[in-house]
Structure 1
Amino acid sequence: MTLLERTGLTRFNPAQGGARGMKIIATGSLVVMAGVFLLANTLDDAYPAWGFVKAFAEAAMVGGLADWFAVTALFRHPLGLPIPHTAIIPRNKDRIGDTLAQFLRENFLTPSVVARRMRGADVAGAIGRFLTDPPGEGRLRQGASSLIASILEALDQERLGGMVKGAIAGRMKAMEVSPLLGKSLDAAITEDRHVPVLDAVINWASRTLDANEDLIRGMVHDKSGWVVRFTGLDARVADGIIDGLRRLTVELATDVNHPLRAKAEDSLAALAWDLQYDEAVRSKVESAKQDIIANKAFGDWIDGLWEKTRAGLLKSARDPDATMAGRFGEAVRALGATLQEDARLKATINQFARRAMVGAVATYGAGIVTLVSETIRGWDARTVTGRLENAVGRDLQYIRINGTLVGGLVGLVIHSVEMVA
């Protein structure tokens, strides 16, 4: 027990404080009516008008005491006396818990009720509005970001990373890449997207030729006989080879209809076809893919990809403002707009949300009901009484005050009728 609890100076509870204040007022009104009754009783004989005051105070005391008894009897025995049918809540704690659990089951946690309530819910629209116009500095946004970051940091990184990397590797093993490469190459040729590649290869060949003239001359010199070298013909042969190759690269670069370019395009088209339909080529590509996946370098690349992805997710979660201000934020807002405008997508997501909620209730509804019932059963009677009294005690004290006033008015009416009669 803490020092505050031992000294009785527990943390202030606004609900408890309000109930205590109203209790003082209700009790004070009863005491005031008792004082008024005593005063009116002494003046009644000398001053008949005080009879009305006496009647009001007397009936007010009766009404106030009756309501005090009724309110007190809900939570404890009045004056500590074991009067039958008092301390109703502590004695019926378990039954109250079972009744509350049954109420939750019948009105909230049955699949039919949830399906009916979810029928008009626009989950996709709500998500879309949140993504399109997220709250600026609100607690919801910061709380969601902190929650995501905490979850990412709390998860077993070795296990999670292994699952992600295993999923990527498994997906790549199961996917046949040869037809995909063939279709991509075929589409590139159809749309002339291969032309820049050919131009780049030709430019590379030209630069390579310029950078390796000495190497070509040396090779011609070494392969020539002594007679050719003695007469200097090797240099002329080398010059002829270099000049011929240079003219060829220039012609290939300037003439889009050059025969060699046409042959290269035919070869690319044949390769695209083989990648899609030639079983031998597809088998070779698949074998090469499996060798790449089995290589340690590929595993290291997957590791690096996962670490960068995880670091990016953590950075985004810790700084939602910076994330929403960049391209990712633009993509998120575009997604939000799509969720609001695309009727088919909205209907699909709403249907999924309804099915998920109904499925969750069907699976876990009984467990939630049991949890509520067992939790209340596990509370001691004092805990249940204290929590309920703090929750509704203020309103119950109003009942006492109203009972005092209404009782007094009834007594005043009865006294007036007696005087008239």
Structure 2
Amino acid sequence: MASRSRFALAVPVQGGAAEMRLVATGLLVAMAAIYLTTRFYADLHPALGFVKAFAEAAMVGGMADWFAVTALFRHPLGIPIPHTAIIPRNKDRIGDTLAVFLRDNFLTPAVVARRMGRIDIAGAAGKFLSDAPDRGGRLKEGASRLAADMLGALDPERLGGMVKGAISTRIAELDLSPLLGQALAAAIAEGRHRPLLDGIVRWGAKLLDSNDDLIREIVHQQAGSVMRWTGLDETLANKIIDGLNKMLSEMADDPDHRLRAKAEEGLAHLAIDLQDDPRMKARVAELRDEIMRNPAMRRWLDGLWESARAAMLRAARDPDKALAGKFGEALRQLGETLQKDPELRATINRFARRTAVGVTASYGDQIVKLVSETVRGWDAQTITDRVEGAVGRDLQYIRINGTVVGGLVGLALHAIDVWL
């Protein structure tokens, strides 16, 4: 608005609409006071006639502009004069006009396509992504905040139920038997089962050593009265324990021991049965389902989900971790590629332009309708306050300009009258 002319700028005032209203009103009152004063003392000196003419015309100009400015928003002095309170009376038409303006100048496919053609979306995205997270860029902070807000906003119970349900469903649908058979066969072929056998042998030796009294008791109970009377039961128990210890020791020292070979043969048969035997597959599936139905398994899944969610929240709230590592590096590489590859950049820009045009064509009318209905839904006082708050300060400059310009015109007319 061109209301801030050189006349208004001559008045060194600053402030909001309310302050400017006081300045404009004060200037009008001052002109009225000067006019009344000079009217009674005009005969004292010819120059007072010029002052009186200036104040009189300034008062008229200020009053006229006060009326014009006030009439935009309300009835002057509360009097329902025709063609006043223009904005409240025409708010629906203003909303419709604004909606049509948006549609014709911003929300037509041709306009959007033309303006999108001048915007390098891919280049801007590439520059943004290249602002590496480990250099303190905006990407890591924005992504970290977004990820944390999204995780925090989700219902942990519902989300946890979905995650645990998905895990349970996938496990229930998983045919574990062939997988276990293949893993066992691969372990045997690569010799990775031998540490397991060594561990079993060591565990057997410790078990025997800690339970030799139990073996002696069993032999003593199973032996006849003659053997117990002669003490042969103790000798037999010692022989059994010594024999087992010797066997376990030989198995531990000799990788090619016969019993180890038998165990390996049994493992090989088990690997084949897990892959091919329907009965073995059914037994594994039954065991899998029984484990999944176990309350302990449910509690383990609950704990697993809570730990995972807490870890994700901790990582999301830490900008240095949210986009660190390979994910952050991949984003940086994508950004550099977008800046260096013109064909990729052109493809993405074309896609963005077509998407924007498609959205405009599909939803432009709804956006226009939303603007119109929103303005229609405002009460008269709301739209008056919003418009007056946006342009009220400049409108008070119109009153100041009117007062000053009116005074100068009155001064010029009085001068012409005197000189002629």
Q: What does residue range 13-24 of structure 1 map to in structure 2 within 5 Å?
A: 18-24=16-22
What secondary structure sits across from 1:217 in the alignment?
A: helix
Which residue number corresponds to residue 289 of structure 2? 290
What secondary structure sits across from 2:373 in the alignment?
A: helix
**Does the 8 Å CA contact 1:101/1:370 hold for their aligned counterparts?**
yes
Q: How far apart, in 2, do the equivalents of 1:156 and 1:343 lie?
A: 33
Q: How far apart, in 2, do the equivalents of 1:72 and 1:338 lie?
A: 61
Which residue number corresponds to residue 343 of structure 1? 334
The gaps in structure 2 that reach 5 residues or longer are 1-14, 339-343
Report the CA distance shift for 1:109/1:20 in structure 2 as closer, same or farther (over 3 A). same
Q: What does residue range 272-351 of structure 1 map to in structure 2 within 5 Å?
A: 272=271, 275=274, 280-299=279-298, 301-302=300-301, 308=306, 313=310, 323=314, 331-334=321-324, 337-338=328-329, 340-343=331-334
Alignment deviations for residues 80-104 of structure 1 (CA, whole Å, 9 cap, x no partner): 4444433221111112233444556
Q: Partner letter of residue 289 of structure 2?
A: Q
Q: Partner letter of residue 29 of structure 1?
A: L
1:244 Cα deviation (Å)?
3.2
Report the CA distance shift for 1:144/1:331 in structure 2 as closer, same or farther (over 3 A). closer
**Does the 8 Å CA contact 1:339/1:346 hold for their aligned counterparts?**
no
Report the CA distance shift for 1:78/1:265 in structure 2 as closer, same or farther (over 3 A). farther
Q: Partner letter of residue 205 of structure 2?
A: S
Is residue 2:30 matched to residue 1:28?
no
Alignment deviations for residues 34-64 of structure 1 (CA, whole Å, 9 cap, x no partner): 3334455666676555565455445543443
Task: Tell me the TM-score normalised to structure 2 length.
Answer: 0.66
1:74 Cα deviation (Å)?
1.5
Report the CA distance shift for 1:216/1:96 in structure 2 as closer, same or farther (over 3 A). same
What secondary structure sits across from 1:95 in the alignment?
A: helix
1:173 Cα deviation (Å)?
2.1
Alignment deviations for residues 310-346 of structure 1 (CA, whole Å, 9 cap, x no partner): 9x65x997xxxxx4699x8764352673464242899
State how many pairs are aligned. 383
Report the CA distance shift for 1:32/1:119 in structure 2 as closer, same or farther (over 3 A). same
Q: How far apart, in 2, do the equivalents of 1:361 and 1:273 lie?
A: 63
Which residue number corresponds to residue 200 of structure 1? 199
Which residue number corresponds to residue 121 of structure 2? 119
Q: How far apart, in 1, do the equivalents of 2:261 and 2:413 lie?
A: 117
Q: How far apart, in 1, do the equivalents of 2:168 and 2:55 lie?
A: 87
Report the CA distance shift for 1:342/1:289 in structure 2 as closer, same or farther (over 3 A). farther
Report the CA distance shift for 1:363/1:325 in structure 2 as closer, same or farther (over 3 A). closer
Q: Partner letter of residue 343 of structure 1?
A: L
Q: How far apart, in 2, do the equivalents of 1:288 and 1:240 lie?
A: 40
Q: Partner letter of residue 72 of structure 1?
A: T
What secondary structure sits across from 2:324 in the alignment?
A: helix
Report the CA distance shift for 1:396/1:176 in structure 2 as closer, same or farther (over 3 A). farther
Report the CA distance shift for 1:209/1:108 in structure 2 as closer, same or farther (over 3 A). farther
Alignment deviations for residues 178-219 of structure 1 (CA, whole Å, 9 cap, x no partner): 344455556666776655544432321111111121223334
1:394 Cα deviation (Å)?
2.6
* Structure 1 counterpart of 2:70, from 68, 72, 83: 72
Report the CA distance shift for 1:98/1:237 in structure 2 as closer, same or farther (over 3 A). farther
**Does the 8 Å CA contact 1:220/1:238 hold for their aligned counterparts?**
yes
1:362 Cα deviation (Å)?
8.5
Report the CA distance shift for 1:133/1:203 in structure 2 as closer, same or farther (over 3 A). farther
Q: How far apart, in 2, do the equivalents of 1:380 and 1:81 lie?
A: 20
Alignment deviations for residues 222-267 of structure 1 (CA, whole Å, 9 cap, x no partner): 5556666666554444333323332343344445565655665565
**Does the 8 Å CA contact 2:147/2:316 hold for their aligned counterparts?**
no
**Does the 8 Å CA contact 1:97/1:372 hold for their aligned counterparts?**
yes
**Does the 8 Å CA contact 2:62/2:403 hold for their aligned counterparts?**
yes
Report the CA distance shift for 1:241/1:74 in structure 2 as closer, same or farther (over 3 A). same
Report the CA distance shift for 1:144/1:264 in structure 2 as closer, same or farther (over 3 A). closer
Q: How far apart, in 2, do the equivalents of 1:133 and 1:156 lie?
A: 24
Q: How far apart, in 1, do the equivalents of 2:297 and 2:109 lie?
A: 48
1:26 Cα deviation (Å)?
0.9
1:376 Cα deviation (Å)?
3.0
Percent identity among equivalent residues? 52
Larger radius of gyration: 2
Report the CA distance shift for 1:104/1:171 in structure 2 as closer, same or farther (over 3 A). farther
Alignment deviations for residues 9-33 of structure 1 (CA, whole Å, 9 cap, x no partner): xxxxxxxx94322211111112222
Q: How far apart, in 2, do the equivalents of 1:249 and 1:361 lie?
A: 81
The gaps in structure 1 that reach 5 residues or longer are 1-16, 318-322
